[in-house]
Amino acid sequence: MTKRTVYALVLSLLAAVASAQDYPIVPVPFTSVAINGGFWQSRLATNRTVTIPFDFRKCEETGRIANFAVAGGLAKGTFKGKRYDDSDVFKVVEGASYSLQTHYDPKLDHYLDSLITLFAAAQEPDGYLYTIRSILKDSANIKDDQAGPTRFSYVAGSHELYNVGHMYEAAVAHFQATGKRSFLNVALKNADYLMRTIGPDKLIVVPGHQEIEIGLVKLYRVTKDKRYLDFARFLLDMRGRADKRPLFPDPAKTGQGASYLQDHIPVTQQKTAVGHSVRAGYMYAAMSDIAAIQNDKAYMDALLAIWNDVVERKQYLTGGLGARGHGEAFGEAYELPNDVAYAETCAAVANMLWNHRMFLLTGDAKYMDVFERVLYNGFLAGVSLEGDSFFYVNPLASDGKRKFNVGQAATRAPWFGTSCCPTNVVRFLPSLPGYVYATKGNDVFINLFLTNQSTVSVNGKPVQIRQETNYPWDGKVSVTVQPKQPQAFTMQLRLPGWASGKPMPGYLYEYVNTTAKAPVLLVNGKSVSYETENGYARVSRTWRPGDRLEWTLDMPVREVKANEQVTDDRHKVAIERGPVVYCAEGVDNGGQALSLVVPAGTAFRPQMQPDKLGGILSLSAQEAGKNVTLIPYYAWSHRGPNEMSVWFGQVKPTK
């Protein structure tokens, strides 16, 4: 282990200790969890070796990186792209910094140093950093790009604060990866400038696109400076407060309205999910941080109400959020169209960030059930198996002709004019190991089932845990526990909703047959009884080195029906197995998927196909003399544009 790796591990452990002061449950840092096999190893390797360099190359080719050099006077030229393009570069740096912590690469380390030199040069003397304004000044061109005629004059659309929020997250990740303060100092200088400019008795604004709030909390955690936390709270509390601030600018003049920006009423009064789904998800994640750190009941009550609204009325079976392309927004209750579903990949990331925080607040497995559904379906579909093409939009049906992917293609595209999704994928994947385990006192939570080797601190004592599984294709999970000496603690294994007869919390979706076989739990080969609490199977005992726990979850093929109020899914059925949602593609079904009918009780046969689509478990059945083949939803659109459907017409079986 190199000195850099040791240093990064120490910083990550310190960060975990700091988080124990707010969230009652502490996530095990991703640097302590090595994914060393199974379903996710190759995907994380692809992200490291393909997607990170690919995204950096695209940022170079499109002028996103050059903008910093031009803004800093290190190169000649003009601004290229959109006002929010700075954020894409920061997100890729964040993902690369995570990668450095687990797979040190001196070439990548040096490249990041060169980028940080550009960031520092682009930063104006007072701390302001926004390349479009530094290059174009207060000109007609900058107004045309909705950046506003002067600083902070159009925060509803300018992305000035959104961009630097991603910078803060990236700077903290880089500091934790390398111990260098070069990027962190740029971020702190910017945050300090903002706090001198914006606040009570100063300029009062709220960001049009939430994100800075999450970044400020991360600055607070790494510096222990409460000013950053207070500033994050201020920005949240000013939303919807026309009594305390002018409408700046008037949302009616933005073409979207205050609800689009979640600025229609104060955040503690919001009970339903409205507006732009990515902005909302980031805001809910930040509110969760505040609720935890400040033990704020009003924030928590609002979050619980909004979450219930989402899972009961506004979430796709794949975990996707955002029914409408216009405004990339939530629709009304039960408005969940399939072919024009937006379900942005960025919204999937925001949804996972929010649900993980809700778990850390409550210890309830239902939040990790939603996280897992998004992970294997709505999120994973967003990136190709090769790691170099992406979905911005994730519909649940396609005719293979309409260019749904932001108007560019009927399949994945390598890049977009607005490339928030490719750069969000690249920063989320390397952090995935950090969502597997968590601890609270004497309890160890196992939230995700994937092959890994980890070190978990239980009451200050290190415990090694090795997990082996072929999940999500197989429900058998083997966990070997290695404390240094016998130690009493409780293992809490998540009992997924799908394994106990519910596809998702609430009643938006239900299985046609709710009967479920009870999970089987063995310790050292012997069946043991366990208590179930908040969706977790609790096993309390004195664990000895080499103790082996085996957790077996039954994985039948399930028919899913939607609430009757979802008119687009009425009299239809979807098919799941374990955490994976399935779809039909025309290429496997004689060119047709949209017209497929699945009679009630159709017996699908699972078949592992290691050489198909990166290795999948497909489902096949005979229907009216024809073979029907289903594949995991995440794997669709790798064989060219063609028909696809998640929901199928259903008829009663004939006698």
Active site residues: 328, 420
Q: Of the candidates 21, 23, 6, 48, which has an alpha carbon nearest to the alpha carbon of residue 432?
A: 48
| Sign of the CA dihedral with 267 first, then 270, 276, and 279 last | positive
538: DSSP letter: E
- CB 186, CB 119: distance < 8 Å: yes
- CB 500, CB 553: distance < 8 Å: no
The amino acid sitting at 284 is Y
SS3 content of the chain, % helix, strand, coil (to 5): 40, 20, 40
Cα–Cα distance measured from residue 485 to residue 545, given in angstroms and rounded to the nearest whole number: 7
Cα–Cα distance measured from residue 522 to residue 471, given in angstroms and rounded to the nearest whole number: 18
Residue with tokens 């969760």: 288
The amino acid sitting at 8 is A
| Spatial strand order in the sheet of 476-483 | 33-34, 452-458, 461-469, 476-483, 547-552, 520-523, 526-527
Residue with tokens 């008795």: 201
From residue 315, alpha-carbon distances to 37, 249, 540 in Å are 31, 31, 36
Is residue 545 packed enough to be buried (19+ CB in 10 Å), middle (13-18) or exposed (0-12)? middle
| Sign of the CA dihedral with 93 first, then 94, 96, and 100 last | positive
Q: Which two tokens stand for residue 296?
A: 């704020």
Cα–Cα distance measured from residue 5 to residue 99, given in angstroms and rounded to the nearest whole number: 11
Cα–Cα distance measured from residue 381 to residue 408, given in angstroms and rounded to the nearest whole number: 17
Q: Which two tokens stand for residue 435?
A: 């969502």
